[in-house]
Amino acid sequence: MKKKLIVILAFILFVASGCIEVEKGMFDGGVYKSTDGTEYWRQKTVFLSLPQESNILDNIEITDLVFDPQDANTVYLGAGENGLFASFDGAESWERVRRLPSGRVNAVAVNPRAKHVVYVAVDGRIFKTDDANRTWGNVYLETMPEVRTTCLAVTGSSGDFIYAGLSDGRLIKSENGGISWMNLYDFEGEIKQILINPYDTRVMYLLVKDKGIYRSENEGISWLSLKDNYQSGDSEQVIFNRNFSDALLMVKDDGLFHSENGGRNWSEYKLVSSSRGLKIYSLAIDLRNPDVIYYATQKAVYKSTDGGENWAIKSLPSKRMPVRMLIDPVNTDVIYLGLSNV
């Protein structure tokens, strides 16, 4: 009887941790999906492939995870040296995009205006498809072998404006879908993120390694550093809060902050976890309710439903690092986690 009681208690504790894994592969990596706001997680690494490749998604380094803006069931996954993968059924199954050359996939961007147009940064090159991954063309080639294309963003009335950040600090732009490029600005530091305001595409933000956040109001022609507007410390990640016209959330090495006026003023969230030594790997905010916020550390996912005043803690479904978090724009109870060995 005592032994049965121990088993029952162990099961209750496991369920209460919010960490249930099904369809688990050989390894604990890849993509996990929750359909109930992080209460339970399921590993989503079913791979349509040759038998010898069946476990490849369980043990990859995820570098990017993005939705198709026109179809939330279409998800693209950049997998470091393993290439690009695509799912067309909300991560229930994946297939490898085989017509790209080998190399490290650093970033993926999907045209928000035209279906089936995708850009992928592979090492120092940018590739484009406009026929749903059937064919790919090389639209940018970096001539300096040590320079990588680190991030991408697509905008414009027809989606023909492409911005690319390079590891040497250059921001380049194409206004014709990658046919030709211009050098916009040199930040002399690796560009980590490019954000374009969805309500006013003239307004852009860049996150530059060791230099913080920059803002442009004229499509990247001139830039203003925002670092003097917040306390010292390195910025690690920035996302938009789309519930407002020009609001940002920022992860720093000493906490989590938000601004509702384009980075002019910042307020700090009261985190339940200690900010000292804390590493936040990913961050997301509900697209319909600004009070619902998520962030993930090495061991847990934290969720607030009251604008950061209180946080619920859910254990991670894996021992790997949660480097990407996505919220489904149609059903915001659906959350994706992309994991990696960091």
Domain limit, last residue, from 186, 210, 232 = 186
> Is residue 143's pLDDT more than 60?
yes
97 with 167, same domain: the answer is: yes
Domain limit, last residue, from 144, 160, 186 = 186
Judge whether 335 and 33 are in contact, CB under 8 Å: yes
Residue 261: which residues within 8 A CB-CB, separation 6 or more? 246, 247
Rg, C-alpha atoms of the chain = 20
- DSSP β-bridge partners for residue 255: 252
Q: How many domains does the chain have?
A: 2
Judge whether 63 and 104 are in contact, CB under 8 Å: yes
41 with 129, same domain: the answer is: no
What pTM does this model have? Answer: 0.89
Sheet holding 255-259, edge to edge: 235-241, 247-252, 255-259, 267-268
Does residue 219 lie in a domain region? no
Compute the distance between CA of residue 78 and CA of residue 92 in angstroms, rounded to an integer: 17
Does residue 305 lie in a domain region? yes
Compute the distance between CA of residue 200 and CA of residue 273 in angstroms, rounded to an integer: 35
Supply the CATH number for residue 83's domain. 2.120.10.30
Sign of CA dihedral 257, 63, 197, 303: negative
Name the percent of the chain lying above pLDDT 90. 72
71 with 105, same domain: the answer is: yes
27 with 100, same domain: the answer is: no
CB-hemisphere CA count at 13 Å for 22?
8
Single-letter amino acid code for the residue at 112: P
93 with 181, same domain: the answer is: yes
Does residue 139 lie in a domain region? yes
Domain residues for 24?
17-53+269-342
DSSP string for residues in 198-217: SS-TT-EEEEETTTEEEEES
80 with 131, same domain: the answer is: yes
Q: What is the pLDDT of residues 72-123, one digit of tens each?
A: 999 999 998 889 999 999 999 999 998 998 889 999 999 998 888 999 999 9
42 with 75, same domain: the answer is: no
Mean pLDDT of 252-269: 92
